[in-house]
Structure 1
Amino acid sequence: MEIIVNPYKDSGRGVDWDEQTPKIISEMNLYFSQNKETLNFSLLETDHGTSADWPTITITIGGGIGALFIIPEAHKRIRESFEEWKRIGNEITSLITWIASKYPVVAYPKELLFFDLLEWFETELGIDVNELEFISVDDEFPIPDKRYGMSIDKAYLFTLKNKKVVYQIAIQNDREIIWKHSYEI
């Protein structure tokens, strides 16, 4: 699971961004090492600028929360493990909420987007997610307008179905639904 944050202060006001990195990484390391769950994580300074620097930190989480690829296997009904997914989704949301309270998140992980999608089905469409069956997720859905014109933007196409309808929903990694389609079967 990858979360990309932009924790840097404007270097025009003092400290350059590359000098800010050790403090930011130290603070993140402290939080993750104190987390009650065992998390395997890595923090990497990344730069998504095209002609000028746009520094970010990519947080990669595996083990504990992230070890479990929580999007269901193909053709698995959501209700079979929905309560467990909700628990894991709450843990992911809690972690991301902490991160977002400290640093602006510029790219959310697809695992969180899956939970956003389930909530959208319930609130916007009034569909009982327990009746849905997960079919697939495509990591390469095209994005017509990138927020920053850079490769940091990504969209995921989720395909789910119930007994009557197949749903395809694309969510960009900034949590915006950018495309939706459904058809009866």
Structure 2
Amino acid sequence: MGEADRHYAALRTGTLPMALSGMQKLDFPMKIVLAPFEDPACGKEWDEQAPEIVQSLQADLAEQRVFRFVIKESNHGRGSDWPTITLLLLAADLFFRMPECYTKVKDAVAGWRQMAEDAKKVIDWLHKKYRVVGLDTEALFLLAMEHICDELGAPDDEVVLLQVKQDVPVEFRPSDDEVNHAVLFTFLGCRVLYQVVVDSAGAIAWDNQVSLEPKNGLEQTS
């Protein structure tokens, strides 16, 4: 096996040497699952498509000046054979630890807005060519925060994360293949409860807000 073959094999298995990739050993890379494969009935088998997809993705990432990454073949969905490509982005500015529940977001994740903006740019760019079908909870958290602040008017400086509920079922949409589960985030900000469901591809599936202020005119009971 030549050097190029070893390099490629390492990329596909996630064992690329640090000297070649420039990777830093960090705990929280952004994980993005892509579904770029075409139906084998239309031409090549999945294992024949994989090398071409990886090569194309490498070139596109290099063009966008994204140099710290790992590419792995994977299988998405539950109980189904749906080949995918998992991309781990190791850019330092996309690393963060999601805050613990009952923690004020601005104190736990400084600069979350810039992180959300950067993450959204990467996701939108990838989706145009490779179709994003899976994001990790940290990425979904950033999208949820951006939504409640920009669309629902939550105060940036006062938002507290209350709860994260995984694997929330959402309405199945045939055009989205296996995207039929999501994460429910519950926040509190200035006596308003905010809830948003973000599906595994990053789309907002549902939102809600409820004021916790007492209704005017209610009399205190003894």
- The TM-score range, normalised by the shorter chain, is 0.7 to 0.9
Q: What is the RMSD computed on CA atoms of the aligned residues?
A: 3.3
Name the CA distance, whole Å, in 2 between partners of 1:15 and 1:177.
34
CA contact (8 A) 2:148 2:196 kept: no
- SS at 1:119 equivalent: helix
Q: 1:170 to 1:98 in 2, by over 3 A?
A: closer
Deviation at 1:7, TM superposition (A): 0.6
Aligned to 2:191: 164
More relative contact order, 1 or 2 (CA 8 Å, 6+ apart): 1
Q: For 1:100 and 1:88, how far apart are their aligned partners in 2? A: 18
Q: Which residue of 2 aligns with 1:176?
A: 204
Indicate if the aligned counterparts of 2:170 and 2:180 stay in contact, CA closer than 8 A: no
| Match in the other structure for 1:58 | 86
Counterpart AA for 1:173: S
Please say if 1:127 is aligned against 2:154.
yes
Q: Which runs of 5+ in 1 are unaligned?
A: none
User: Across the two proteins, how many residue pairs are aligned to each other?
Assistant: 182
Structure 1 stretch 13-22 or stretch 40-49: which is displaced more?
A: 40-49
> In 1, are the aligned partners of 2:184 and 2:195 still within 8 Å (CA)?
yes
Identify which of 1, 8, 14 aligns with 2:43.
14
The structure 1 segments of at least 4 consecutive aligned residues displaced by more than 6 Å after TM superposition are: none
Task: Give the number of the structure whose alpha-carbon radius of gyration is greater.
Answer: 2
TM-aligned CA deviation for residue 100 of structure 1 = 1.3
Alignment of 1:34-113 (within 5 A): 36=65, 39-46=68-75, 48=77, 53-62=81-90, 64-69=92-97, 71-80=98-107, 84-113=111-140
Q: Percent identity?
A: 24
Query: Judging changes above 3 Å, is the alpha-carbon distance between structure 1 residues 10 and 42 closer, same or farther for their aligned structure 2 residues?
Result: closer
Structure 2 length as normaliser, TM-score? Answer: 0.64
Structure 2 segments unaligned to the other structure (5+ residues)? 1-29, 214-222
- Alignment of 1:137 with 2:164, yes or no, is yes
Pair 1:106–1:29, CA change in 2 (3 A)? same
**Secondary structure at the counterpart of residue 57 of structure 1:** strand
Encode CA deviations 1:120-165: one digit per residue, 9 max, x unaligned. 2234322222221122322233x05444698764311212112413
Amino acid at match of 1:77: K
Mean CA deviation greater in 84-93 or 112-121: 112-121
The Cα of 1:92 is off from its aligned counterpart by 1.6
Shift of 1:180: 3.8
Native 8 Å contact 1:74 1:135 kept in 2:
yes
* TM-superposed deviation, 1:93: 1.9
